[in-house]
């Protein structure tokens, strides 16, 4: 199945927040990261990022069904890395290749070089996905709590 990235509009922010809370609820329950979890994020935070000129939120769609969301930060500047933050697939659509296809499509739209992202080191499936797509760990990590470490990736 082919996915499409559809630009989210201002009136979609509530839907994005609702989807994000649901998509990250399992990870929040597992890691209890109240300060950093997208599951605990407020509407105002997404609104703030949505209004940044370098940010684009896309719905990840498959057969016109919203299966997830990806946010791209692209300053349109060769000296600044483009960033994926966040990407998520709704629980019922996971493990079907949608995240991989969405990242490839984002790279096609925004250029396939000079990217960065971060993820939870303990989530081996996420790490595997990003490494399969050509991202490599930078060596930088950030301990969030005794259960969770964030690992940083880049792609030339």
pLDDT digits (tens, 9 = 90+) for 32-41: 998 899 999 9
Q: Name the residue among 29, 106, 114, 30 with its Cα closest to residue 69.
A: 106
Q: What mean pLDDT, rounded, does the chain reach?
A: 96
3-155 to CATH, choices 3.40.50.150, 3.90.400.10, 3.40.50.300, 3.40.630.30: 3.40.630.30
pLDDT digits (tens, 9 = 90+) for 105-147: 999 999 999 999 999 999 999 999 999 999 999 999 999 999 9
Widest distance between CA atoms in the chain: 41
């Amino acid at each position: 199945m082919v996915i499409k990235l559809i630009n989210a509009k201002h009136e979609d922010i509530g839907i994005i927040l609702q989807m994000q809370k649901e998509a990250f609820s399992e990870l929040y329950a597992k890691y209890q990261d109240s300060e950093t979890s997208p599951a605990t994020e407020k509407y105002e935070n997404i609104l703030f990022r949505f209004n940044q000129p370098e940010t684009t939120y896309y719905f990840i769609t498959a057969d016109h069904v919203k299966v997830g969301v990806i946010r791209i930060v692209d300053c349109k500047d060769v000296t600044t890395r483009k960033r994926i933050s966040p990407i998520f697939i709704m629980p019922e659509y996971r493990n079907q290749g949608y995240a991989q296809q969405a990242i490839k499509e984002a790279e096609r739209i925004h250029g396939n070089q000079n990217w960065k992202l971060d993820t939870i080191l303990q989530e081996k499936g996420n790490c595997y996905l990003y490494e399969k797509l050509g991202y490599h760990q930078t060596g930088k990590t950030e301990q969030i709590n005794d259960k969770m470490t964030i690992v940083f990736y880049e792609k030339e």
